[in-house]
Amino acid sequence: MTTYNTVLLAEDDRAIRHALERALSLEGYRVTAVPDGIEALAAVHRERPDVIVLDVMMPGLDGLQVCRVLRAEGDRTPILMLTARVETADRIEGLDAGADDYVAKPFEVDEVFARLRALLRRAAPAPGPAREEPGPDGTTQVADLRLDPSARRVWRAGTELELTRTEFDLLELLARNSGIVLDHATIYDRIWGYDFGPGSKNLAVYIGYLRRKVDQPGLVPLIHTVRGVGYTLREA
C-alpha cells in the first residue's frame, strides 16, 4: 500500500494557494489547503500533518502566530515558512517563532519540494555515523553543553535551552564532531540535504541565532567561525 506524506498549506493568496496545492498533489503529497491561520490551527488539531507550509502574512492569525501557538502546545511538526520579507531580522523572527526553514517569495516550486523533502528526512529517525560517542546515558557532552538526542533536549551550564528542530539538528551535528571544522557544503548536506549555493546566507542566519541561545553573555563561547571554511564547536 502506498503511503503519502500529508501537507497542511496555509496561504491567503488564492492563486498561490491553488497553484501550490496542485503542484504538491502532482508531486505525490496529500494536501489540505486553508486560507488563514485560524483554519490552519483547526486543521492541525483535527489531523496532524507530516509537514506544515505557512505563509507569514495572513489576515487574522498570521503564520508567525500560528507557529508560536503550535510550539507552545508542544507540536514539533516541521514548519516551512513562505515569506516576502527577506531581511535577516525577519528571518530571525521566524526562527524565534519556531519555524524550521523558510522560502522567500517569489519562489520556484522545485525549491519548495527540495526543502520539504529535507524537512521530512530530518523528521524521520535515521541515525548516522558520528565522531562523538554518546555517554552512558545516551547524551553528548562538550564542556558545559549537554545534548540528549533521544529527547531532543539541550542544556548549557545546567540551564535548558529552547531550540527549534533545525537549531537542535545543527547543534547536534557540531557537538558530535566537536573540535572538527565542518565546511559549509558538509553542513548544508547533513542538515538540509542540499546546498543553497555560494550566495546563500541561510547557514549564517541559523548559526547566528544559535549563538544567541548557546553562547550567552558570561559563558565561554563554544561556536567558532573559521573564515572561508565553516564552523566548529569546541572550548576556546
Residue at 129 is within a domain: no
Regarding whether 103 and 11 lie in a shared domain, the answer is yes
Instruction: Find the angle CA(74)-CA(150)-CA(64) to the nearest 5 degrees.
Output: 30
The answer to whether the CB of 79 falls within 8 A of the CB of 100 is yes
**What's the average pLDDT block by block, 10 residues per block, for the chain (236 residues)?**
80 94 94 94 92 91 90 87 75 78 87 89 56 61 92 92 89 91 86 67 86 93 91 88
At 128 the pLDDT is 43
At 25 the pLDDT is 95
Residue 130: is it exposed, middle or buried by C-beta count within 10 angstroms (0-12/13-18/19+)? middle
At 157 the pLDDT is 92
Residue 135: CA count within 13 A, CB half-sphere: 10
Residue 110 three-state SS: helix
Residue at 133 is within a domain: no
Residue at 65 is within a domain: yes
At 86 the pLDDT is 64
At 127 the pLDDT is 43
Residue at 128 is within a domain: no
Regarding whether 199 and 145 lie in a shared domain, the answer is yes
The answer to whether the CB of 13 falls within 8 A of the CB of 20 is no
Regarding whether 107 and 25 lie in a shared domain, the answer is yes
- Neighbouring C-beta atoms of residue 54, cutoff 10 Å: 27
The Cα 18–Cα 10 span in angstroms is 11
At 131 the pLDDT is 44
Residue at 134 is within a domain: no
Q: 101: Cβ–Cβ under 8 A, 6 or more apart, which residues?
A: 78, 79, 80, 81, 115, 118, 119, 166, 192
At 189 the pLDDT is 80
Question: Given 123, 155, 178, which residue is the final one in a domain?
Answer: 123
At 129 the pLDDT is 40
Question: Given 65, 91, 123, which residue is the final one in a domain?
Answer: 123
The Cα 115–Cα 107 span in angstroms is 12
Cα dist from 76 to 83, 95, 160, whole Å: 21, 13, 17
Regarding whether 179 and 105 lie in a shared domain, the answer is no
Regarding whether 97 and 163 lie in a shared domain, the answer is no
Q: Is 231 left (phi over 0), alpha (psi -120 to 50) or beta?
A: beta
pTM of the model: 0.61
Residue whose C-alpha cell reads 486553508 in the numeric block: 34
Q: What range defines the domain where residue 89 resides?
A: 6-123
